[in-house]
Amino acid sequence: MAITIASDEPEYARSPSLVATFSRRLLTDPVTLVAVLYLGLLCLVAIFAPLIAPNDPLAQSILQINLPPSRDHWLGTDQFGRDVLSRIIYGSRASLELGLISPLLAALGGSIIGMIGGYFGGIVDRVVGRLIDLLLSFPILLLGIIVAAALGPGFWNLVMALVLAFAPRFARIARASTLSIRNEPFVEAAVAAGVRHPTIIVRHILPNIAGSIAVLITLWISSAIQLEATLSFLGLGTEPPRPSWGNIIRDGLNNLFGSAWPIVSAGFAITLTVLAFNLLGDAVRDVLDPELKE
Amino acid sequence: MTGPLLEVEALSVAFGPKLNPVRAVDAVSFTVNAGEAVGIVGESGSGKSVTSLAILRLVPDPPGRIVGGRIRFAGADLLSLPPARMPEIRGRDIGMIFQEPMSSLNPVMTIGDQITEAVMLHERISARRRRALALEMLDLVGIPNPAERFLSYPHQFSGGMRQRVMIAMALVCRPKLVIADEPTTALDVTIQAQVLALMNRIRSTFGTAILIISHDFGVIAEVADRVVVMYAGRIVEQGDVRSIFRHPAHPYTRGLLQSIPRLEDDRRRLYQIPGSVPAPGARSAGCPFCPRCPDRLPICANAMPPMAEVGPSHHTACWTNPGASVAGAQ
């Protein structure tokens, strides 16, 4: 037995999806488009490094040290005669791996902890809050140095240092967003429908705070790349002879008067990549933030 | 099954510090029979919403807690169930419709997902059958093109449509009882009438018992068979709709009924009950309505009137009712 009551809302418009909004932004904003194209290219370069790199990044040659750019070595060679372009290409792998993996892991861990604290409140929230404060009180670089010094350099140790540094930042945002969402009537309605707390967190809270977490991820990727370079420069990051942009600069600094090409090239790569990720972050924030939409 | 579907007995809910608690609901007793519609009416702060939340044990704790009484639903004592068992009752046996259709739906979930969520939790049936059930429900509550609207998000619906979706969510598991807390307050009058008609239709279709909470006697009259009038956390009068509307026995009920504006009225000023609901902490030993009561007697300030019969299935707690002194003497 159907009830026929005239609809009080005969027509409705489907709001454009986020992907559609983002695509439109790419088409209308050339700066973002360039940044995205650059990052896409960089990812391809990192993935297909062995196919693209003209030389072995580790092959040394006493006969070819400190060469300026030439047809054989587009960006010259360093003090061990290694091809700088190949080292930059292979170095993008270290930067991107770390730059993507550590913010993602930090977002995962931080959001879970922040949501639990914000959702359950009370003593749980206090413990989570103090833990966040404790970790936030360390400068990121100092935290990286402490972990690297305690556990030694190495990729996963570096990831751990960055996750420890970034996670409280995600937790803080996740907690604050959860606090405002959990008082929404739809959460109470879900409880009244018999939904249990873990399911509410995953199905009702998480999708509502995912936007702010996504913005935060894109903003921290560039910081992660910078930190990888910084820690590698300090000798606490990627271990030589494996190339990374940071340790190319470190090696190059000792050889600044032999050849400036390694430092200039690696510095340029870091600058471009960080800039591109920041521009991407801005674009993502604009798309996800309804207040900024026109 | 014998006996009423829902039996609330001397329910008390307190808020605030343990040493100096404030009783928002004080010794409230009423019953809802299977298939019956009962209305709870009262002004803001009378404890009607807290009573409805307490039935599903949704009173936020802290600061609130249920300090006394029993709630029996279909033979089970809800207050002695372990908290982990409550989700089984919520949604499956007792559905709840909330006041705010604008914010009681998750903005980032399609309404289809939100309706099927309760089914997914309580029944082991395939996704296709869940969808079919939800579509049937959407059709029943009067959403045009259910299959198309299934994938829509709440912001694509108007307030009245969202309230229909809320009703569909509350009913999709075919609960024995639906608690509707001010289901029409946020809607405009024509939509109110549609939603109330829908609730009546659902009751006659499924035989669902309804506990409707409202400050509006008109809404109660539209849906309920019996009325419970609450004031300051206590029940002051209860009985069937007709006899309460025709012969309100408690001065507070009379005041509420007189406050309803009428078209044929040529009074310059609308009727109002003088004063306002006393702050929950500042209640005296006597009848809580005494300071505002036009008919108060000397005894009113000193002793709480007992619940006494006025007529068949019509009771009130007021000293002006001749039955009260008899009941008080016993």
Percent of chain B surpassing pLDDT 70: 94
Spell out where chain B has E strands. 6-15, 22-32, 37-41, 64-73, 76-77, 94-97, 177-181, 209-214, 226-231, 234-240, 308-311, 314-316
A185, A192, A196: residue with CB nearest B103: A185
Name the residue of chain B whose CA is nearest to A211's CA. Answer: B108
Q: Does B201 touch chain A (CB under 8 A)?
A: yes
CA distance B232 to chain A (A): 25
Residues 49-78 of chain B with CB under 8 A from chain A are 56, 58
The HSE-up count of residue B20 (CA atoms within 13 Å, CB side) is 4
Q: How far is CA A62 from CA A78, A80, A87, A244, B91, in A?
A: 10, 6, 17, 22, 77
pLDDT at res. A108: 95
Phi, psi torsion values for B83, nearest 5 degrees: -55, -30
For residues A114-133, average pLDDT: 92
Contact B191 A8 (CB under 8 A): yes
Q: Does B92 touch chain A (CB under 8 A)?
A: yes
Name the residue of chain B whose CA is nearest to A5's CA. Answer: B142
Contact B161 A9 (CB under 8 A): yes
* Each residue's pLDDT tens digit, A21-30: 778 877 788 8
The C-alpha atoms of residue B228 and residue B56 are separated, in whole angstroms, by: 19
For residues B181-202, average pLDDT: 84
The C-alpha atoms of residue B51 and residue B32 are separated, in whole angstroms, by: 13
ipTM of the complex as predicted:
0.79
Tokens coding B116: 């099927």
Omega within 30 of 0 (cis) for the link into A241: yes
- H helices present in B181-294, as ranges: 189-206, 217-223, 241-246, 251-259
First to last CA, chain B: 33
The C-alpha atoms of residue B210 and residue B95 are separated, in whole angstroms, by: 10
Residues 217-276 of chain B with CB under 8 A from chain A are none
Tokens coding A142: 């100092």
Which residue of A186, A195, A208, A288 to mutate against B (max B Cβ within 10 Å)?
Answer: A186
Give the residue from B73, B90, B82, B67 showing the smallest Cα distance to B13. B67
Tokens coding A107: 């977002």
Domain layout of chain B by residue ranges: 234-261+285-330
B88, B139, B161: residue with CB nearest A8: B161
Mean pLDDT of chain B: 84
Tabulate helix, strand, coil % of chain B (nearest 5): 35, 20, 40
Q: Is residue A40 a contact partner of residue A92, using CB atoms and an 8 Å limit?
A: no
Name the pLDDT band for A2 (thresholds 50, 70, 90): very low
Poorest-pLDDT segment among A258-267, A273-282, B281-290: B281-290
Tokens coding B96: 């709840």
Poorest-pLDDT segment among A65-79, A149-163, B273-287: B273-287
How is residue B292 annotated by DSSP? G
Residues 193-232 of chain A with CB under 8 A from chain B are 193-196, 199, 203-204, 207-208
Give me the domains of chain A, ranges plus CATH numbers.
Answer: 36-292 (1.10.3720.10)
B241 or B295, higher pLDDT? B241
* Each residue's pLDDT tens digit, B306-326: 888 888 888 888 888 777 766
